[in-house]
Amino acid sequence: MKVGLVCPYAWDVPGGVRSHVADLALALGDHGHQVSVLAPSDDPSSLPSWVVDGGRLFSVPYNGSVARMSFGVRAMRRVRGFVRDGDFDILHIHEPVAPSLSIIACWVARGPLVATWHSSQDRSRALSAGYHLAQTAMEKVRGRIAVSEEARRTLVAHIGGDAVLIPNGVRVAAFASTGRLASVDPQRPSALFLGRMDESRKGLDVLWEALPAVLDQVPDLQVLVAGPGDIDEQRGRLPHGTADNVRFLGTVSDEDKARALRSVDVYVAPHIGGESFGIVLAEAMAAQAAVLASDLPAFRRVLEDGRSGRLFASGDAASLAAGLVDLLAKPDLRAQYVAAADRRVRAFDWDRVVEDVIAVYDSVHTPGEKVAEDLRGQLVGRLSPRSDPGRGDSNGTT
């Protein structure tokens, strides 16, 4: 099959949706399908050969953060060209109502169309205000996927209809076999935060508040922080006396993200809301780091209510500190969580998940259908009033 994937968010900026699209493209390729991705980029020259530049990026407030997206006349042209030149059997659009390439692709697409919902939004002014616009865009979608129950509820509440649940995937073998960061001392306890530092819902401030209490018990702890954001600003927010224990990695590549996860004892996810799945939890599980996460519904689901990772009360710094100290002090406890996570994460392995996605493609795709649509389009063009010699041209002449 020839599959076109549309990603609304910047290819250059780390994020769950972008990682999902990239891994899905690779998994589909491993299964013999021909895949092309359309995504906006600040640096088109760095894109892999199978990613098409979606155009200039703009900062857009969306789903509790500021996303980098592409829209406007140029974006419309890029989408039209991608759909036309790709001649896809399946066009698969991610976050289909995001105000970017995705919703444009819904409007211009022809043939079998699949859409995946990733985000969880209890209240969305954008979706509520654009309800009829979103409905129009969704009319041609034949296959609907949601990565979590939270994402499915967002779809039902704001758009209507339903979707099949197919979780985010993770390349388990790649994370399990990657190397470690040479700069992390394996003789010292270590923890990692990964996410956008300046996005409040990622909960970095909760970790900062908890840090003094943790260092009282584990004074040689190494805390790694990876992700985009203003490092100098975050250094200024560190509690007194903690700076020597914290190292900022900045924005990291997918490869260094995997290495960072493999290098630490505990991955800490202090998020306070807005999460529909938590793919980074699955990545940490695959990398065999013990997971400490806030008890958001989505995180509870991934971690099986605490069986495959330690949970703490969301937004509660004291609860985070107690959980982190406990995990760092008890290697056997960490090992129990890692073993349970190794079993759990197999459910999210792309080798398994991609089969479910392909099943959706098969359910909406009829071989030869696109050829038939093209022929119908040609016939409509030939028989339109402007081109029918029996009807005359627009001036009434023959």
The answer on 183 and 154 residing in a single domain is: no
Tell me the one-letter amino acid at 41: S
Q: Would you say the pTM of this structure is higher than 0.85?
A: no
| Any domain includes 370 | no
Does residue 82 surpass a pLDDT of 50? Answer: yes
The answer on 189 and 46 residing in a single domain is: no
Does residue 67 surpass a pLDDT of 70? Answer: no
pLDDT of residue 191: 98
Q: What is the chain's mean pLDDT, rounded?
A: 86
- Residue with the bigger pLDDT between 3 and 64: it is 3
The answer on 192 and 160 residing in a single domain is: no
Please give the residue range of the domain that contains residue 63.
2-169+350-365
Length of the chain: 398
The answer on 361 and 292 residing in a single domain is: no
Check if the beta carbon of residue 41 is closer than 8 Å to that of residue 11.
yes
Q: What is the mean pLDDT of residues 152-162?
A: 80
Q: What is the mean pLDDT of residues 297-319?
A: 97
**DSSP assignments along 199-261, one per residue:** -GGG-HHHHHHHHHHHHHH-TT-EEEEESSS-HHHHHHHSPTT-GGGEEEEES--HHHHHHHH
pLDDT tens track for 137-149:
677 888 999 998 8
- Residue with the bigger pLDDT between 69 and 384: it is 69
| Any domain includes 381 | no
Report the percentage of the chain scoring pLDDT > 70: 84
Check if the beta carbon of residue 288 is closer than 8 Å to that of residue 176.
yes
Check if the beta carbon of residue 361 is closer than 8 Å to that of residue 37.
no
pLDDT of residue 276: 82
The answer on 329 and 359 residing in a single domain is: no
The answer on 360 and 336 residing in a single domain is: no
Number of compact structural domains in the chain: 2
Does residue 293 surpass a pLDDT of 80? Answer: yes
Under DSSP, the state recorded for 239 is: P
pLDDT tens track for 20-47:
999 999 999 999 999 999 999 888 898 9
The answer on 144 and 277 residing in a single domain is: no
Label residue 132 by pLDDT band (50, 70, 90).
Answer: low
Label residue 15 by pLDDT band (50, 70, 90).
Answer: confident
The answer on 355 and 344 residing in a single domain is: no
Q: Which of 2-11, 96-105, 248-257, 320-329 is the least confident region?
A: 96-105
Label residue 135 by pLDDT band (50, 70, 90).
Answer: low
| Any domain includes 272 | yes
Tell me the one-letter amino acid at 34: Q
Q: Which of 64-68, 237-241, 318-322, 345-349 is the least confident region?
A: 64-68
The answer on 226 and 131 residing in a single domain is: no
- Residue with the bigger pLDDT between 292 and 69: it is 292
pLDDT of residue 58: 66
Label residue 395 by pLDDT band (50, 70, 90).
Answer: very low
The answer on 158 and 220 residing in a single domain is: no
| Any domain includes 232 | yes
pLDDT of residue 296: 95
In angstroms, rounded to a whole number, what is the distance separating the alpha carbons of residues 122 and 114? 23
CA distances for 162 relative to 15, 130, 141, 155, angstroms: 25, 19, 12, 7
Residues near 247 by beta carbon (within 8 Å), at least 6 away in sequence: 183, 222, 223, 224, 225
pLDDT of residue 386: 40
CATH code (residue 31): 3.40.50.2000
In angstroms, rounded to a whole number, what is the distance separating the alpha carbons of residues 264 and 223? 9
The answer on 300 and 277 residing in a single domain is: yes
Residues near 348 by beta carbon (within 8 Å), at least 6 away in sequence: 167, 168, 169, 170, 172, 282
